[in-house]
Amino acid sequence: MKSSKKPLVYIIILNWNGKKHLSYCLPSVVKTDYSNLRIVVADNGSTDGSQAFVHRFKNVELIENKKNMGFAAGNNAGIKYALDEGAKYIVLLNNDTLVDKDWISVAVKCAEKDEKIGMLGFNLFGAEKPADINDFYKAIKKKTKSFKYSEDYVCGCAMFVTRFLIEKIGIMDPIYFIYDEEIDWGKRAKRAGFKIAYVDVPIYHNLASTTKKIFLKTSFLQIRNTIRCSIKNDNIFQILRRFLAVINTACNPFKKIDKENAIFVRLRPFNPLINLIVIVNAFAWNFLFLPQTLYARSKRFQNFNKINSIKC
């Protein structure tokens, strides 16, 4: 991984007691075919020996957060480190992923074509529901390396972000802790005039590793953050529709949901009565922190004019 004239890229792999996942993720990532690349594991206070395992890889750096800071704050620590080191592009990657060797080189080539591209996603296998790993390997052989613009957000498990975007709209909102922070980030990016794109290079996400157990806390965080993200970014009619959709999904026993979809499972993990209790607590949290959310909402357009001055 010697330096070159190519833009410096930092890959940030967030980890919390995920040594078993790092055992297949890191060997995959270090095979990335890009010369000016640095890999950092941002560890959220693991107690399973993850830190010692990372030290086995000479070309992988380690940031040790003292506690589990969550997805947003944990990644933010890695992002700040990468920016200080001069990174032009930063990639957030889950520790339970496998990557194609060309993923970074294709993403950089795409980002260099259009300065208004702020976020890039990939052809993700296991974005919302578990995927067959064999489909991932088949996709590697058929990848086109092309890219297309999207109106959607980029899934946080494999997100390529430009330095320019971060300098203009800031890092992820740490209040979310986990779930919906990338949706919020994407909405902020789009509102500021940035483009979002996807490249046809496959990445495998072992989603089954994160959806085997659904606890009250994860359900609470998903519902709480879905509501907060809507209040922070949407108009009043969209907010009301989101509220009703969450209640209907969680408490309507006659509504069919895809039980393999991780988001729906978190929104409706138990019986309607328990789900209602979770919703009440999620709504109560949002009411308590409404002033903070409204303040964040008021800052949505502060950098819009700067972004519109970009020359393509």
Position 303 in a domain: no
Q: Is 145 left (phi over 0), alpha (psi -120 to 50) or beta?
A: left
Classify 309 as helix, strand or coil. Answer: coil
For the chain, what is the mean pLDDT?
A: 90
Q: Looking at this protein, which amino acid is placed at residue 144?
A: T
Classify 92 as helix, strand or coil. Answer: strand
Distance of alpha carbon 309 from alpha carbon 110, whole angstroms: 21
148, 158 contact by CB (below 8 A): no
The residue among 183, 210, 237 that closes a domain is: 210
> In this predicted structure, what is the pLDDT of residue 21?
96
12, 82 contact by CB (below 8 A): yes
275, 251 contact by CB (below 8 A): yes
Distance of alpha carbon 232 from alpha carbon 302, whole angstroms: 14
The residue among 186, 210, 234 that closes a domain is: 210
Position 306 in a domain: no
Burial class (CB in 10 A: 0-12, 13-18, 19+), 147: buried
Same domain, 206 and 217: no
- The share of the chain scoring above pLDDT 90, in percent, equals 76
Q: Which residue matches tokens 């297309």? A: 148
The string of pLDDT tens digits covering residues 116-131 is: 999 999 999 988 888 9
Position 305 in a domain: no
Position 219 in a domain: yes
Position 87 in a domain: yes
Same domain, 177 and 239: no
DSSP state of 72: H
Position 236 in a domain: yes
Same domain, 176 and 272: no
Distance of alpha carbon 92 from alpha carbon 102, whole angstroms: 16
Confidence of residue 10 (pLDDT cuts 50, 70, 90): very high
198 beta partners: 121, 148
The string of pLDDT tens digits covering residues 253-264 is: 888 887 778 888
Same domain, 294 and 219: yes
Same domain, 30 and 169: yes
Same domain, 167 and 29: yes
> In this predicted structure, what is the pLDDT of residue 119?
96
Position 60 in a domain: yes
Q: What is the CATH number of the domain that holds 149?
A: 3.90.550.10
Is pLDDT at 301 greater than 90 in this prediction?
Answer: no
Same domain, 280 and 186: no
Domain containing 89 equals: 9-210
Count of domains for the chain: 2
- What does the H/E/C string look like for 133-198? HHHHHHHHHHCCCCEEEECCCCCCCEEEEEHHHHHHHCCCCHHHCCCCHHHHHHHHHHHCCCEEEE
> In this predicted structure, what is the pLDDT of residue 45?
94
Same domain, 132 and 184: yes
The residue among 188, 210, 232 that closes a domain is: 210
Distance of alpha carbon 244 from alpha carbon 240, whole angstroms: 6
Same domain, 118 and 232: no
Same domain, 182 and 229: no
Same domain, 126 and 28: yes
Position 70 in a domain: yes
Same domain, 103 and 50: yes
- pTM confidence score: 0.89
> In this predicted structure, what is the pLDDT of residue 7?
96
> In this predicted structure, what is the pLDDT of residue 150?
87
